[in-house]
Amino acid sequence: MPKLDLIELQRFVPAGIKYRLKPYYRKIFSNKLVVLLNPTWRCNYRCSYCCIVTKFAYTSVVPKAGERSGQEWLQGLEKLPPALIYLCGGEPFVYADLPLLVNNLPEKHSLVGIVTNLSQPTSVYRKIERKIHLNASFHREHTDGPEFLAKIKELSPHFHIQVNIVATPENLLVLEQIADELHAAGVELHVDPYVDIGFHYTPDQLRILHKHITPDRQPESQLDYDDYSPKRCSAGRNYINFSPDGSAYTCQGGMNFLHSPLHAGMAQGRELGYFRVGNLFDQDFQLNKEDVLCSMPCNIACDRDSTIIRAEQLVRS
């Protein structure tokens, strides 16, 4: 019986069905581990809403000199059980060894996709020798619609491309137009709610947003900065987040709580050591064997996509 492949699913199955299947991915696919791998924090864009580059420069945590080479990543990934790997950043295509990493990924792993702003020359993308999935992030602060669509059409013969946009208040004003233009070009659009401390959509903005987001992205239930209740979470066991130097964190949110001053007030006085799982290149590196007990808000959408989170039932004496 042929192995069911997530890349083929992304290419041929409608988006609505894919998102309904998300909770069952680990039962459907052989890869039980989900890896969010950031080979670089560097980016050639400075989007006003970006928490990685603009609001807090993660290159101050791991600069270019601290990045691991593609060959090191290939050796390190051999340590892991079969995994679904998603490459992000930063802008992954400014990382020179990206083609080496993608083209030689150990066979036991599956590459779910790569996020990119599509700003690099076409020749850079064509160094990738596999027909993979690209999540093309549309950043209107740096490119316009016709230019962005032209790059998609140029690369479509080589990749499966889906467009992603962050629903900032500015983008909401033209979201309907963007969706129509992409639909006319045969390109799928995925919308992510804008997430920021203290930000809330107005009722009118929510009405626009709800036309374009899938149920798993509902901002009212998905993104909560006030939920300090204890939660059992599988992050660190069947979901892991790697920074460019190989440091491993249970989740993107946990990395933010540890490093970014934007979250320092929220994390003040709390024990956060469980967010760091070590470094992939340490000789004794291993994933967590049990779920962690976490009381910090879970406010990163990708974390919730890939983890199993259960409310902790406190036992009263």
Tokens 């420069």 label which residue?
57
Residues β-bridged to residue 33? 83
pLDDT digits (tens, 9 = 90+) for 68-85: 999 999 999 999 999 999
> SS3 of 317, please?
coil
What does the pLDDT read at residue 300?
A: 82
Cα–Cα distance, 127 to 100 (Å, whole number): 9
Length of the chain: 317
What does the pLDDT read at residue 309?
A: 86
pLDDT at 222 over 70: no
Cα–Cα distance, 92 to 119 (Å, whole number): 11
Query: Concatenated DSSP letters for 238-268?
Result: TEEEE-TT-EEES-HHHHHHHH-GGGHHHHT
Nearest-5° angle of CA 54, CA 58, CA 62?
A: 150
| Domain assignments of the chain as residue spans, ordered by start | 6-311
pLDDT at 182 over 60: yes
Fold (topology level) of 6-311: TIM Barrel (3.20.20)
What does the pLDDT read at residue 315?
A: 42
The counts of H helices and E strands in the chain are 14, 12
Is residue 185 within 8 A of residue 149, CB to CB? The reply is: yes
User: Given pLDDT bands bounded at 50, 70 and 90, which one contains residue 227?
Assistant: confident
Is residue 187 within 8 A of residue 155, CB to CB? The reply is: no
